[in-house]
Structure 1
Amino acid sequence: MKKCIIILLILIPGLSLAQSNIREIVFTHLSSTELLVGETLHFKSYLQSEQTGKLSELSRILYVEILNASGSPVHQTKLEINSGQCAGSFFVPTDLETGNYQFVAYTRWMKNFDEFFHESLTIINPYINQKFQQAPVLEMNVQIAVEGERLLSNAKNKIVIRVTDQFQRGISTKGKVVSNKERESIEVATDEFGFSSFYITPDFDESYQLILEKDHGFEFIDLPKPCKDCIQFRVIQTADLWVVKSISSNPEDFTQGQVEVFKNQESVFSSPIVLNSALSIHKNDLPNGLLRLVYIDDEGKGRERLIWNKGAQPDENQSFGIYKTKSTVVEEFSALPAANLSISVEQVDTRREALGIFWYREVGSKIDQSLPHSFYQMATENQLDNLLLASNYTGGLENPEKVKYLPEYRSGIVQGQVTNRENETMIDVPVGLAFSGINRQMSVTTTDSSGRFVLTYDLEVSDGEPVIDILSEVPNVEISIEPEYYVSYPEFTNIPVVFDSVKVAAIVKRSINNQIMNAYYVEETEGSTKAYRPQFDQVKSYKLDDFTRFNTMRDTFIELIVEVGVSKNEEKYEFKMRSKELVNGFYEEYPTLLLLDGAFVSSEDLMNLSPYLVDRIDVINHKYYFGKSIFDGILSVHTVAKDKGGIASKGINIDLVPVQINDKSVTVQVTQEVNLKIPTYQDLLYWDPAVYHTGGPLQLDFSTSDVKGMFEIRVEGISIDGNALSQRAYFTVE
């Protein structure tokens, strides 16, 4: 087990002892994937253990971004995760241009593995004049995959092709495979997702060419050349078995190799195999879902392919019939286990192609192919195998030796490094993080042997202005802060938004409906849920209105604050705390920590503050410990206006994206008020991100609006046992 994992096990109670159980995966259920400006996107995120599937409690903050086509963020927020779940919303502002965007979500811990969830969003702004490009000329990309990775001469080989456009959408086309030896050609026809497979038995000196039809002419692609002296492995599926065959160009070669099967990063099966023989593995001896089957030859070289081991997800497309406008819908899904669920009901032009939580977790997040939801619903056993043969595994293969980002298990984290101007690391330097504002908090630590530091903050009172400072007299130092979010992402596939007359008419109608609903919208006002919390305990407070006010802060301290002494040397003020330890004979002195409205402040700025702006002065006159950092006491000054009296904080201001209030309790539902003649033009009829289903049939009860068309009911969730659940149904409103 890696050293970094052992340390984390000590620091974080409840983290599984299994090294393979440290990775997290995020799935987000979006209420819609196409929005107009002025509408609200609702979302529910599930944080799971990659290994067990159960809701994870390792991280407490979810980082969310919405990126434009160039990869720049147009919105950033953070959500507090409770027991592996959180929910939020995003009001689409009217300054966003029409285009495709990416919704991205991840935890700080996931950054160690370069992992994140993303899903495409289409945002339409009918109020801005924009130049829209015409439908692009589609390109043809052809991918060829050979089972076992090598084309073996004089043996039967399975070949999979996938034909896509430049946006990774499958292209349905026809063609043939021809040989230079003038054998009978093999007819090829790709399905709507671009897949086709066929078998060939080539001679060593034989070459093959794939000829595909395209809009104007043909595409010619050379197949891989056969090898004469190599090893290939094939996998054959029966009702109960996986049969692995290792085949050599030399039929008399009986060299021993090894077959190993992995679920995520965990080995779940291992067995020797002799060349030119077969190994049978019972499906019941392997976990369900996506597996990596690796063949390792006698030289230690491995080659692999992906397999899907039974357990197909019951991801049904039910039909609930026809309803009238402003009517009640009462329907029932088939029995589901006890689970945490989220439910959306939205009007759709076509059936949504976003992956459900099951297929995203098991396959979509771990391969380099992009397939719509409909593929997994209708895929045959052979089609699914074709997908896996043509795919590379992109899930993390190994855990890193070291991690850079700690999980935000109990609180928020700010990480950084202290160096001098020669870029040398500074060791054992005290560093502090302070929040000013109504609720104030502070965190202090010291730098490690690499000059790095980790500071924490309480999410519930993190609404002030954060500042970081060096809390000792160390000259010529620089502080660098690790960014909260990813600095860059891989290039996403963004399909251009193309409009036709039907699409334009639908947008105009929807825009009018949206403006009507916004005109009748009444914002609910709620008091703040964040209660005031004192920054320190056991303080002695001096409220200046209770005393005669003096003209200067120096006189105020000299005459009123008996626990503190103020000295001046060459225009530099110094505070000396008359601590209890000093009085009792402990003469080792430490600095006094100075705060103004919760922020760090220099002694000179504090002395230049007008005492008429001060409400009270809090004093702690005993040694105060922050880890390895020690202070003789704390002097905390509070202004009446809580604005630091116009004095800038000491240190560097940092930009921490605020934590959004968790919207798990926020629901959206059309209400039918008979006595109120209020229009109901909602496209989103129902949204509930916090459904706890106790098991059995899932009952649905909601109302339709004045909007007509096809509606999708989408249910996503995680069972108590860690199984992913996805259900969809459709109905029509006339």
Structure 2
Amino acid sequence: MAVLQTIKKSVFILSAILLGAMIMNNDNLTEKVKSNLNSYQLYYTPEKIYLHHDKPYYLAGEMIWLKAYILGAANLEASPKSGVLYVDLINDQNQKVDNLILPIEEGEAFGDFLLSDELPEGVYRIAAYTNWMRNFGEEFFFQKEIYILSVQNAVATKNLARQTDEIDLQFFPEGGDLISGIPNEVAFKALNNKGYGTGVEGEVYDSEGKKVLDFKDHFLGMGSFVFSPEASKKYVARLNLKNGQILDIPLPQAKEKGYNLHIDEVTDPDNILIRIRSNQPEASNLFLFGIARDRLIHSQGIALKGLQWQDFLVPKSEFPTGVARFTLSDPLGNAFAERVVFINHPIKEIVEIQTEKKVFGLRDAVNLTISNKSITELSHLSISVTAEELVQMPEFQENIHTYLLLSSDLKGHIEFPAYYFESNDLERQKALRYLMMTQGWTRLGWETLVSGDFPVMRHANEMDLNIRGRLLRTNGSPVANGEAILYLKDKYTTFMLTPTNNDGYFSFRGFYFKGSIPVVIQGSDSRGRKEDVVVEMITEDYTPTLKDHLLRLPSQYSAQAPDKYIQQTQQQFKGIETEVWGMELGELLLQEVVVEGRADVFQPFKLHTRADAVLYRDQLPIAPSGNILEVLQGRVAGLQVTRTGMNEFRAIIRGQGTPLYLWDGIPISESTLQSINQFDINRIEILKGLGTAGIYGGRASGGVIAFFSETGSSTEDVDPEAGKHIIIHQALGYNGTRQFYSPSFDVSAYYDLPDLRSTVYWNPTVMVKPNSKTELSFYTGDIPGLYRVIVEGITKDGQPISEVHLFEVNAIE
């Protein structure tokens, strides 16, 4: 008896020791996870970007209007990390066809692309990112497909690749592995040859040819089945394709030993049901962690006694709306199973959209009221209004709510993301569950989190424009601890000095200007010597490569563009050109807003956005007559320059007559050119025809020759031939932004032509204060039918806002 009592006492003591060790290990691992997450948020802080643009497809020559929201990935509040946004337009050959550099203010930026009318038809993508985001990989970038139509290739739109019977069927055991001898839920996803979900049904057979079960997808090729595999057997899924072919696809091999993590987030509206099973006879000490938005929300230790399972509940109220990850590990942090779930709390309506009536007439005034029904502060909202007859939005398309809370945290393309949020019925909850079981997680990986081995920060965060370069010796070695001087003749004549680091790199920070400006950079070594110093500027031409994490257009979407879209948009182009050519130049020269920054750089005005030819001063010969027109002889195709008298010349572009001459955006006469000093000119831009010069109206019927002075950026005292230690560098600034033009039919004396605009209103900076409303006004066009109003934004505390309102326009009111 005494021996038995001693044994019982020993077992009790051993159990207590094990329990104490488990608690200690749990505390250690939990604190380690918390500490690493805090460090990640504090020092790394990845960002998310969402882009709202007006339409899913455009005709070459149209304008893309866009608004970007730049947010912290964890809290979805305005990111303090970045002040510069890059937006690239990339073709299907991964070539950048246009790009924007935009200033970020309070987590917002807006701009526009003027599409070249020579772009070939096809699928393009818009990529938006900051320099800081490059540290975490391109899967964090916002990348979205758009379709660009072309008049020349209009027929090709319908000639899309035919759908085939090819199916890619993938299996995803819940938790990561199939475990022998216990029930396993296996999710699956079937994709067609274009990578879109497709319906599928089949059977599962074991290696002995015995049928185990039947399965069928629930939504878009996604579903699941449950069975208890044996490690000694192999299993295949058999599909009977429409073409009569039988396709056998192997399932993952079951493991002899392991742990199974089963999660049911659908059955109980208030709790997440979790079951942990093991096929091992020995007891195990395990730990479960629940992480969301880079915060440890839930952690607990689990003592699993042999061939048993444990069930427990985790309240959904502990988690924010969005994607959460559960990880099952041992005391050392080795993961056994993982599962992502979506926590879908009810959405509170914050913004309401109203119009004073439901039906309007053609060219009718619309008064739109946007109300903030909460005490919450909002970002500037972005608003687009499009005519449904021309702009057919994809069904259940991506919006700021679906992207920030769902798509941006998962790998791969998600079809119809808004479907999962349209209602909270059981069918959609199940579909969302299968989505979470078949999509990968893009956020911080578990192994990285436990080890604290975070990515090396190779790209600095940019709060403003930087001019970067490097000082080298003539033999290629870096000039360490040297000095770079930047000279900029603005209205204050600015000099800036900065040292080089040990590798010779230097950076001038704090610039805020639009367009491009020439600056002088001079270098010297640590002793002030310049003879053996070479200045090299860093002008990185970076283009994101095509990745799987891309917001794709729906299958066959390009064929769904209305046939009349090209025809009516083209007619609208012609109408605008006719209207503009009838206007006087003074009615068009509306100065765009130029934000001045620390350097207070002078920006000459220009209305056009691109020129047919640009000549810089260093490309021009000396004019013997002193007349600047003389240097243009034979320099530009289609431009003829002839002598008309002593030191007098005349220019004609394509035989169209006398061009419009501009000096820093101001019209001047041809005779005035004789008094312009050639060395006061920075560049000359030639606009040959309607496509580029039409914006200047009837006075530009002969084209435009625009001269830009060196004011604000004079470099006449610089002699680049004096040595490689001093150079003239053309620094790129922010892109200018245009204001959306919406005609006012009650006052316009010009707009007698058809108004066939597909986008009738765009505004990226609408402010609505808490418990208040803002009224906006615009006019409908000549397109009858439904008009769609889309309002997007985000609250200051990180709640996405996406609202849609429809109204009707009748030809006869």
CA gap 1:239/1:72 in 2 versus in 1, 3 angstroms? same
2:173 to 133, 142, 146: 146
* Residue among 120, 125, 129 paired with 2:150: 125
Instruction: Determine if the alignment matches structure 1 residue 687 to structure 2 residue 762.
Output: yes
In 2, the alpha carbon distance for the partners of 1:155 and 1:368 equals 29
Q: 1:306 aligns with which of 327, 340, 358?
A: 340
Task: Report SS of the residue matched to 1:406.
Answer: coil
Amino acid at match of 1:376: Y
Unaligned residue ranges in structure 2 (runs of 5+): 1-37, 601-676, 682-709
2:732 is paired with a residue whose SS is coil
TM-score (norm 2): 0.68
Q: 1:527 aligns with which of 591, 596, 602?
A: 591
The equivalent of 1:513 in structure 2 is: 572
Aligned partner letter, 1:680: D
Between the aligned partners of 2:130 and 2:579, the Cα distance in structure 1 is: 37
SS at match of 1:403: coil
What whole-Å deviation, never above 9, does each CA across 1:315-356 have from its counterpart, x for those lacking one?
Answer: 999999665433345566786544221110113453335421
The counterpart of 1:351, out of the listed 393, 404, 407, is 393
Tell me the amino acid that sits aligned with residue 216 of structure 2. A
Equivalent residue for 2:465, pick from 412, 428, 433: 412
Match status 1:48 vs 2:71: yes
Contact 1:670 1:704 in 2 (8 A): no
Moved more, 368-377 or 286-295: 368-377
Quote the offset at 1:235 in angstroms.
Answer: 1.4
User: Does the 8 A contact of 1:141 with 1:163 survive in 2?
Assistant: yes
Of the three residues 234, 237, 241, the one matched with 1:207 is: 234
> Of 703, 718, 725, which residue of structure 1 is paired with 2:794?
718
Q: Which amino acid aligns with 1:473?
A: R
Aligned to 1:325: 362
The answer as to whether partners of 2:488 and 2:713 remain within 8 angstroms in 1 is: no
Q: Give the SS at the match of 1:464.
A: strand
**In the alignment, which residue of structure 1 is the partner of 2:293?**
264
Asked if the contact 2:512/2:596 (under 8 Å) is kept, the reply is: no
Could you tell me which amino acid in structure 1 is paired with residue 421 of structure 2?
Q
Task: Give the structure 2 partner of residue 342 of structure 1.
Answer: 382
Q: Which runs of structure 2 are paired with 1:6-45 in the superposition (5 Å)?
A: 19=42, 22-45=45-68
Contact 2:472–2:478 (CA under 8 A) maintained in structure 1:
yes
State the AA in 2 paired with 1:25.
Answer: K
720, 734, 744: which one pairs with 1:671?
A: 744
Contact 1:428 1:447 in 2 (8 A): yes
Question: 1:36: Cα distance to partner?
Answer: 0.7
Question: Size of the alignment, in residue pairs?
Answer: 620
Task: Tell me which amino acid in the other structure corresponds to 1:277.
Answer: Q
> 1:255 aligns to what?
284
Distance 1:695 1:283 in 2: 29
Question: Alpha-carbon deviations, 1:14-51, whole Å to 9, x = none?
Answer: x9995177322211111122111221111111111222
- 688-697 or 484-493, which deviates more: 484-493
Aligned counterpart for 1:85 among listed residues 86, 92, 108: 108
SS state at 2:409 partner: coil
Name the aligned partner's letter for residue 387 of structure 1. L
1:149-168 to structure 2, matched below 5 A, reads 149-168=176-195
Q: What is the Cα deviation at residue 66 of structure 1?
A: 0.6
**1:436·1:464 contact (CA, 8 Å) conserved in 2?**
no
Of 207, 231, 235, the match for 2:263:
235
1:360 maps to 403
Mapped partners of 2:278, 2:599: distance in 1: 73
Is contact 2:290–2:299 with CA below 8 Å preserved after alignment? yes
Structure 2 residue matching 1:380: 3-state secondary structure: helix
- The equivalent residue for 2:321 is 288
| TM-score in terms of structure 1 length | 0.75
Partners in 1 of 2:740 and 2:560 — Cα distance? 34
Change (3 A) 1:296 1:318: farther
Match of 2:99 among 48, 56, 76: 76
Contact 2:575–2:753 (CA<8 Å) still a contact in 1? no
Q: 2: CA distance between counterparts of 1:478 and 1:645?
A: 19
Aligned twin of 1:470: 523
How far, CA to CA, are the matches of 2:56 and 2:168 in structure 1? 27
- How far apart in 2 are the matches of 1:75 and 1:58? 25
Deviations 1:631-683 (A, max 9, x none): xxxxxxx99994627944863455543312355xx345453327753432111
Identical positions, percent: 19
Identify which of 221, 244, 248 aligns with 1:220. 248
State how far apart, in whole Å, the 1-side matches of 2:596 and 2:491 are: 7
Q: Does 1:426 align with 2:449?
A: no
CA RMSD of aligned residues (A): 3.9
Q: Secondary structure at the match of 1:383?
A: helix
1:523-602 residue pairs with structure 2 within 5 A? 524-527=588-591, 529-530=593-594
Which residue of 508, 527, 530 maps to 1:455?
Answer: 508
Cα deviation digits, residues 465-489 of structure 1 (max 9, x gap)? 1454423425655555554553442
1:384-434 CA-partner distances (Å, limit 9, x unpaired): 11111111112344684642222222x312344444466544320112344
Can you list the C-alpha shifts for 1:539-587, whole angstroms capped at 9, x where unaligned?
xxxxxxxxxxxxxxxxxxxxxxxxxxxxxxxxxxxxxxxxxxxxxxxxx
2: distance between equivalents of 1:712 and 1:67? Answer: 28
Of residues 419, 422, 425, the one that matches 1:375 is: 419
Instruction: State how far apart, in whole Å, the 2-side matches of 1:144 and 1:403 are.
Output: 36
CA contact (8 A) 1:670 1:705 kept: no
Match of 1:246 in 2: 276
Distance 1:361 1:107 in 2: 17
- For 2:208 and 2:52, the matched residues in 1 are separated by 54
Q: Is the 8 A contact 1:347 1:710 kept in 2?
A: yes
Cα distance in 1 for partners of 2:497, 2:558 equals 56
Q: Is the 8 Å Cα contact of residues 437 and 463 (structure 1) preserved in structure 2?
A: no
Once residues 712 and 560 of structure 2 are traced to their aligned partners in structure 1, the CA distance between those partners, rounded to angstroms, is 61
Q: Deviation of residue 69 (structure 1)?
A: 0.9
Provide, for residues 516-546 of structure 1, a one-character-per-residue CA deviation record: whole Å limited to 9, x for no partner: 234325774233655899979xxxxxxxxxx
